[in-house]
């Protein structure tokens, strides 16, 4: 999906094909804002599987380009290329119960478990602690690439085109503060966007590695 696809649709709906009222730079900004909002609600909308090297200790951080951790899948050896044992998601309470003081246990190259807290979406703990030589394969949600030209390809898939258009329409009408009609239209498009996206918490629960959050959501 190209930025031009979004721009063409938004221009038509705004009746501003010549971009007299809303220039191209503004539309780029609206598209960027839309992608960022969608990913904040649906972290899986722009996800990536990558390999990261662990630091020494139990506390680890997801790669710098990530918005949040989605999963830790497996160990990847000391070279980042060798597939190893799977890493299991656990609650912090379970680790405290079955691996007391795990954060200060002997450090190893390949870890067995990880635990995650939604309140700190880019950090997680591994058990046993890493010695800093091992790598992990992780799934992360990443920041969408900014749009700078009509020919740019959006990071998000085509299924989000209508969502992006709705958000752009909302942003476009919202700047016309002195028009009650435009403000009403902005409210309609904003409401439509959120209705299409669903409730943030409900969506986030589907794409969090936090075992505790998933159990609470399912009533377990």
Q: Are 91 and 212 in contact (CB under 8 A)?
A: yes
Q: Is the pLDDT of residue 111 over 80?
A: yes
Count CB atoms within 10 A of the CB of residue 96.
14
At 214 the pLDDT is 53
Q: What is the mean pLDDT of residues 111-135?
A: 94
Q: What burial class does residue 73 get, using C-beta atoms within 10 Å of its C-beta: 0-12 exposed, 13-18 middle, 19+ buried?
A: middle
At 171 the pLDDT is: 96
pLDDT greater than 70 at residue 209: no
What integer is the mean pLDDT of 153-175? 95
CA nearest 156: which of 70, 51, 34, 26?
A: 34
pLDDT at 92: 85
pLDDT at 130: 97
Confidence of residue 89 (pLDDT cuts 50, 70, 90): very high
Q: Taken in order 67, 68, 71, 73, is the CA torsion positive or negative?
A: positive
200 — pLDDT class (breaks 50, 70, 90): very low
Point out the least confidently predicted range of 14-18, 66-70, 200-204: 200-204
pLDDT tens, position by position, 144-161: 999 999 999 999 999 999
Q: What is the pLDDT of residue 201?
A: 40
Q: What are phi and psi of 71, to 5 degrees?
A: -170, 155
Q: How many residues does the chain have?
A: 220
- pLDDT of residue 26 exceeding 90, the answer is yes
- Give the mean pLDDT of 107-126: 94
CA angle 123, 164, 63 (to 5 degrees): 20
Report residue 98's pLDDT band, with 50, 70 and 90 as the boundaries. Answer: confident
3-state secondary structure the chain: CEHHHHHHHHHHHHCCCCCCCCCHHHHHHHHHHHHHHHHHHCHHHHEEEEEEECCEEEEEECCCCEEEEEEEEEECCCCCCCCCCECEECCHHHHHHHCCCHHHCCCECCCCEEEECCCCCCEEEEEEEEECCCEEEEEEEECCCCCCCCCCECCCCHHHHHHHHHHHHHHHHHCCCCCHHHHHHHHHHHHHHHHHHCCHHHHHHHCCCCHHHHHHHCCC
Which whole number is the average pLDDT over 114-133?
Answer: 94
Does position 202 have pLDDT exceeding 70, yes or no?
A: no
Tell me if 186 sits within 8 A of 174, measured CB to CB.
yes
pLDDT digits 0-9 by tens, 139-148: 999 999 999 9
- Position 106 scores a pLDDT of 94
Structure tokens that stand for 52 in this block: 């990261």
pLDDT for position 212? 56
Q: Find the mean pLDDT for residues 101-105.
A: 88
Q: Write down the pLDDT at residue 208.
A: 59
- Tell me what pLDDT residue 207 has: 58
């Amino acid at each position: 999906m190209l930025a031009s696809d979004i721009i063409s649709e938004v221009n038509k709906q705004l009746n501003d094909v010549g971009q007299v009222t809303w220039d191209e730079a503004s539309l780029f900004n609206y598209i960027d804002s839309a992608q960022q909002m969608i990913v904040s609600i649906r972290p899986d909308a722009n996800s990536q599987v990558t390999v990261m090297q662990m630091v020494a200790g139990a506390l680890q951080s997801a790669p710098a380009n990530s918005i949040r951790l989605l999963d830790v899948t497996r160990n990847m050896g000391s070279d980042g290329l060798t597939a190893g044992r799977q890493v299991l998601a656990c609650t912090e309470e379970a680790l405290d119960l079955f691996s007391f003081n795990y954060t200060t246990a002997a450090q190893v190259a390949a870890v067995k478990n990880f635990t995650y807290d939604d309140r700190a979406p880019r950090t997680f703990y591994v058990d046993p602690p890493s010695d800093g030589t091992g790598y992990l394969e992780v799934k992360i949600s990443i920041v969408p690439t900014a749009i700078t030209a009509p020919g740019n390809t959006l990071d998000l898939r085509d299924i989000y085109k209508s969502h992006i258009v709705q958000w752009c329409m909302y942003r476009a009408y919202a700047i016309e503060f002195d028009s009650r009609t435009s403000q009403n239209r902005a409210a309609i498009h904003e409401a439509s966007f959120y209705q299409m996206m669903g409730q943030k918490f409900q969506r986030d629960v589907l794409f969090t590695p936090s075992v505790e959050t998933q159990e609470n959501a399912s009533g377990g």
